[in-house]
Structure 1
Amino acid sequence: MSSIDVFGSILGYLATLCFTIQYVPQLLSNYRRRSVEGLSLTCYVIKLIGAYFLFVVALISGEHPSVICYGMVNLIQYNLFMFFWFRFRHVHWVAWTALTPMAPLVLVYLWPEVGNYTIFLKPLSQVFSHIPQLMLVYKAKTTNGVSMKTQGLCFMGGLCGFIMTLLVPPKSFGVTAAYICAMGQGGTLVAARVYYGDHPRLGARGV
């Protein structure tokens, strides 16, 4: 293995580490508040679906282990968010999201050739899931309830992962697109916090 491959792998695992801990501040905030106020349920349901497709397709197609770990970590995180909506908002239908992995498993099993295309559902889910969250922030004119630590880690994870794909090309451009979208997700919400004056340095309380 060349030094470039080693460095790329290190960046890939660093990206996975960022994605592993990124939602800890947000999850702790929800747990302490006993609330999911400020977060969009639609956003996280779409994220969960995309994470299932990334994990299943990356596992079957033999992507870099850090990419597979990325998908697995996302699954755990987003299912925890589903539990919070079940627990704090009594949205019982979210329990059915546990069946989500059936979709990519059936698709890849019946039509193996679509695997390289279904992995694009991850970055697409990141884009379309982000729209409801941005709309919620826009209507409320505040990012209160959204953890900026989470968004900062999301941006850093996306950046490290993107650089990794330049050094160790993935089997599908969908992986690269997922990291690019992660940068966009984190960056736009941090920008929104500054724009609406919610930044801690501007006197608002941030999480």
Structure 2
Amino acid sequence: MADAAELPERLRHVYWIGGGTGAGKSTIARRLADRHGWRLYATDGTMRDHAGRTTPEEAPFLHEFLAMDMDERWVNRSPEVMLETFHWFRGEGFDLIVEDLLRLPREPCVVVEGFRLLPHLVQPLLAEPEHAVWLLPTPDFRQAAFRSRSAPEGRFVWRTSDPARAESNLAERDAMFTRRLREETGRLGLRTVQVGTAMTEDDLDGRVTRAFGL
């Protein structure tokens, strides 16, 4: 990988959309990419590849998670433990995101989206602070987004022995993650957009577009 001091300039063409789960990151990133002719890099789509590119020494939380069954992951642990030990929330594999981006041409611009974009990891890569924004969903918005994605029986929690408890644990973990993002972006002076149920997709698109100074 390039020297850390060189990374902001080499990634100047990248726009970053992080945030809590179910905040509309992928939708807005896709709209921006389509409108401006940008390349879209969705970090969710790279998780399997990145997991295969790590060793237990490089990503211990990831490999511990992979060894668990569904109940161990989502039912038997508290939301607090789930938050503190979830590998992507710990930043494991973030260096692989950066490696992927450095391999891409500098034209056109790239919009990167996903919950893996932790503020303290992205901030040192920014040549221009306005090239990053975090979407912070309210609990009502996040629940509405999840309900709209698929039928309940299609969600992975139904592969556990107690889907209701798994869903509750996951919702609380994600709420705590969003609160952590809010605190971290505030401390670092990074841009955020709160996403509520009264906000339309066009509203959110406009807010992110203005945050990026486009």
**TM-score normalised according to structure 1 size:** 0.30
User: TM-score of the superposition, structure 2-length normalised?
Assistant: 0.29
More helix by share: 1
Higher strand fraction (1 or 2): 2
